[in-house]
Structure 1
Amino acid sequence: MTLLVPARESVGVQPTAASDVPPRPRLVARLSAEALGSLIVVVAGLGVPLFTIPQSSPLPAALAAGLALTAAMLAVGYVSGGHFNPAVTVGNVIAGRIRLADAAAYIGAQLVGAALGAVALFGVLRTVPTINDSQGAFATVAAGFGEHSIIQVPMAGVLLVEVLGTALLVAVFLATTASRNPARAAAPFAVGLTTAMLLQLGQALGNVPFNPARATASAIFSGPDALGQLWLFWVAPVVGAAIAGLVFRGFAQTTVQPAQTTDPAGAALTDAALTGADLDDADFGDADFGDAELADGVDDGQRAGTGHRGNGKAAAAAASPDRTDRALAQDDEARSFFDRKGEK
């Protein structure tokens, strides 16, 4: 039985061709998606605890924030990658998935969206007749440590929780949105559930948000005390995101990389896909080269091996043309010798 390995042209698709790469959304579209997603996250994450009875369990607020993040990622995540969190963006930069300039623009858009969400909530608070102090209401959902923590958690404790929690959140995001993860379609649910779990812990300690944009939005209308402690909720998440990004980058470098094509245009695309430079998690996620690599990666010696015993002569000829030429020459000499003997 002969096993035919199709050539790249016969496969029907050419993964390295530029025409097969889906068009990448423009930066303006991606920034708009990040701002909209951040607004959704802040409105749900801060709005539910703001308008919830203080004696009730904080679980509904944490779950609402996680579901809001899942909804935002499903709605506009395909446009921008669904970061909606400066810490996630930092993790993507260190992991090599997005350029530094684009990441800075992402963070700016996230802050704008979060601020707009806080403004909307503050406006709603001003219309509620039973709430006389809107700034005081916002202070109840602002991130803090020490005397501004619900259970008086010191700065070191909140710092450690922020670093660890953000590292876990960014690690889940990077792992579930990786292009070679077969379950990447479930990434919004995994990230949303992880966020809900972490916020359940964070609210018990001092409204730890694991999201600098959300922390900034709540501090804007909470007074000078929240603004004075805001630095921790930027430094700690960035450190945690950096740890997760470095670990993910190290794991990615230890995996087997696809063979580089000889086509110049394809080679450029392959190099970009391997390094991840200038690629969001939403870009070129399915640009795998499995069948095409199989077609070109099987050398002549392998085609002459055990997998092609049914056509041994043809495989041997393909594997060693010089040896075949010598064998044919010897056959010709033997045939000529016996022909001369017959003539005598």
Structure 2
Amino acid sequence: MTDATPVAPPTLRTRLAAETAGTFLLVFALIGAATSTAVFPDEQNTLGIGLLGVALTLGLTVMIGASAFGPVSGGHFNPAVTVGLAVAGRFRWADVVPYVVAQFVGGTLGAGVLLLVAGQGADGFLRSTLDSGFASNGYGDHSPAGSTLLGVAIAETVATAVFVTVILRVTGRRGSPVPPPVVIGATLTILLLTLIPVSNASLNPARSFATAVFAGPEWLAQWWAFLVFPVLGAVLAGVVARLRARA
């Protein structure tokens, strides 16, 4: 005989805690890999994981976070994803602001803990980490490849639209033969490998804010672009998904 007692859905507080934890994990792992492990022990990269390792770190982290926290909150960990899902009619608009706040809090805490760890490293490591931009996103002089604002705008908009479209498709009614966290993580890995030279790869306003707020005014002054264009891409993906559902 089985227990047929229905399980109550997670409360908003529980879901927000899951979003905070998941975004913390994402930023802590990604930025930790980008600022330390990617060039360990030095710029000669003898043991470092490089750009491929950084991209894989994010992809694997998203797989883990979506598997661990997705059943509770949906596993957004990204304000652009939350907005895109709401536009597509797959998430309640009333919960958008609380989710976004939780994501910003989690991401900023993740970056802050990394700086605490960096402060316990070799003399000058914390200062050099911040002086190099703390893996923040940027355009122009702050782009790894010197990409213009227009180039960054196109890249971030298109990549986020693709990312949110993949999420909407693999979590939709038709589903996917491959577990959604695997597909989503793999997609993010590929997009990161494409965008790191362009903008240091954002696709996530919370991730961008978390590092820029510590890196300094020059980086924070460019954060607006990594709020506007990922959200724009997510909105476009949501609109297309909604129109397809009505067709």
**Do they superpose with TM above 0.5?**
yes
Q: Which residue in 2 is equivalent to 1:39?
A: 24
* 2:157 is aligned with 1:156: no
By how many angstroms is 1:179 displaced?
Answer: 3.0
Equivalent position amino acid for 1:109 in 2: A
* 2:132 is aligned with 1:146: no
By how many angstroms is 1:206 displaced?
Answer: 2.7
Contact 2:24 2:107 in 1 (8 A): yes
Contact 1:122 1:134 in 2 (8 A): no
Q: Which residue in 1 is equivalent to 2:13?
A: 28
Distance 1:132-1:250 versus aligned 2 partners, 3 A rule:
closer
Q: Output the CA distance in 2 between the equivalents of 1:45 and 1:155.
A: 24
Q: Which residue in 2 is equivalent to 1:49?
A: 34
Deviating beyond 2 angstroms after TM superposition, the runs of 4 or more aligned structure 1 residues are 19-23, 54-57, 134-138
Q: Which residue in 2 is equivalent to 1:259?
A: none
Alignment root-mean-square deviation, CA: 1.8
Contact 2:134 2:212 in 1 (8 A): no
Equivalent position amino acid for 2:149 in 1: M
Q: Output the CA distance in 2 between the equivalents of 1:138 and 1:36.
A: 27
Q: Which residue in 2 is equivalent to 1:125?
A: 118
Equivalent position amino acid for 2:207 in 1: R
Secondary structure of the residue that 2:23 maps to in structure 1? Answer: helix
By how many angstroms is 1:180 displaced?
Answer: 3.3
By how many angstroms is 1:244 displaced?
Answer: 0.3
The one of 191, 200, 208 aligned to 1:215: 208
Contact 2:85 2:238 in 1 (8 A): yes
The structure whose Rg is larger is 1
Q: Output the CA distance in 2 between the equivalents of 1:102 and 1:195.
A: 24
The one of 84, 91, 95 aligned to 1:98: 91
Secondary structure of the residue that 1:139 maps to in structure 2? Answer: coil
* 2:229 is aligned with 1:236: yes
Secondary structure of the residue that 1:198 maps to in structure 2? Answer: helix
**Farther off after superposition, 135-144 or 30-39:** 135-144
Secondary structure of the residue that 2:119 maps to in structure 1? Answer: helix
By how many angstroms is 1:138 displaced?
Answer: 5.8
Spell out the pairing of 1:1-344 with structure 2 (5 A cutoff): 23-51=8-36, 52-53=38-39, 54-56=43-45, 57-130=50-123, 131=125, 133-134=127-128, 136=130, 139-183=133-177, 186-254=179-247
Distance 1:92-1:55 versus aligned 2 partners, 3 A rule:
farther
Q: Output the CA distance in 2 between the equivalents of 1:55 and 1:171.
A: 38
Distance 1:190-1:132 versus aligned 2 partners, 3 A rule:
closer
Number of matched residues?
A: 235
Contact 1:39 1:114 in 2 (8 A): yes
Post-superposition CA distance 1:132-173 (Å, at most 9, x none): 515535605110000111111000000000000000000011
Q: Output the CA distance in 2 between the equivalents of 1:145 and 1:75.
A: 34
Contact 2:19 2:73 in 1 (8 A): yes
By how many angstroms is 1:62 displaced?
Answer: 0.8
Percentage of identical aligned residues: 39
TM-score by length of 1: 0.65
Contact 1:159 1:232 in 2 (8 A): yes
Secondary structure of the residue that 1:229 maps to in structure 2? Answer: coil
TM-score by length of 2: 0.90
By how many angstroms is 1:22 displaced?
Answer: 5.4
Equivalent position amino acid for 1:65 in 2: L
Structure 1 residues without counterparts, runs of 5 or longer: 1-18, 255-344
By how many angstroms is 1:129 displaced?
Answer: 1.4
Q: Output the CA distance in 2 between the equivalents of 1:230 and 1:66.
A: 23
